[in-house]
Amino acid sequence: MYSLIKRPLITEKNSWLAEQGVYVFEVDKKAEKTEIKKAVEKFFSVKVASVRTAVCRGRSKKTRLGVSQAPKWKKAWVRLEAGQKIGLFEGA
């Protein structure tokens, strides 16, 4: 279950979203919304209100041998219930 969440995505935009109660994670490509919800609730001991997902395409890179493509990956926006926080994003 813990292997569903690969890593948190910490960017300037995602830091702003964290203040609103939305946290962004890179997840396994085959993970479903219900599985992501259960994993976040169990791992961080919080209540999840909703989960949104998107499959992001890998970027193309031109090399001397031709064009190579990074693999696709999936990210999930997890909205928590009011008053809930994840300490990982708060610096705790």
Q: In terms of residue numbers, what domain contains 47?
A: 2-60+67-83
pLDDT of 20: 92
The Cα-based distances of 13 to 20, 21, 22 in angstroms read: 11, 13, 11
Within a domain: residue 25? Answer: yes
DSSP state, residue 4: G
Within a domain: residue 45? Answer: yes
pLDDT of 40: 95
Domain count, the chain: 1
- Structural tokens at position 85: 């926080």
pLDDT along the chain (92 residues), means of 10: 86 92 96 96 95 94 90 96 85 56
CATH number at residue 56: 3.30.70.330
Within a domain: residue 90? Answer: no
- How much is the pTM? 0.86
